[in-house]
Amino acid sequence: MTVLLQIDFPFSGPWGEDMAAGMKALAASIAEEPGLVWKIWTENREAGEAGGIYLFTDRDSAQAYLEMHRARLLGFGIATVNAKLFDVNRNLSLIDRAPLS
């Protein structure tokens, strides 16, 4: 069963195109993570938050990524990381056009 991981954390920028340019190498490394199907990068300048929504092939891969990413964010000086794991209901999600294969 696929697993959705939701992460957000305090962030002061950069935003938009500057974020995309500055984090391109990070995005490329995330794309190589075991079990990752896709990631949607999220940002909320007004709230001072960033993060992502990830789809993993299984819970173990999602949990391993979460532990690694928390440690990486701590290394960046980000101590507060909010995260949730959800099992994906494939049948209902497909009705609503979820990008599941």
Residue 54 CB neighbour total at 10 angstroms: 26
Task: Please name the residue that has the structure tokens 């173990």.
Answer: 60
**Residue 7 host element (H or E):** strand 3-10
Residue 9 CB neighbour total at 10 angstroms: 19
Residue 35 CB neighbour total at 10 angstroms: 18
Segments in the chain below pLDDT 50: none
pLDDT value at residue 24? 97
Query: Cα–Cα distance between 53 and 67 in angstroms, integer?
Result: 15
pLDDT value at residue 101? 72
pLDDT value at residue 19? 97
pTM equals 0.93
Q: Which distant-in-sequence residues (6+ apart) come within 8 Å of 79 by Cβ?
A: none
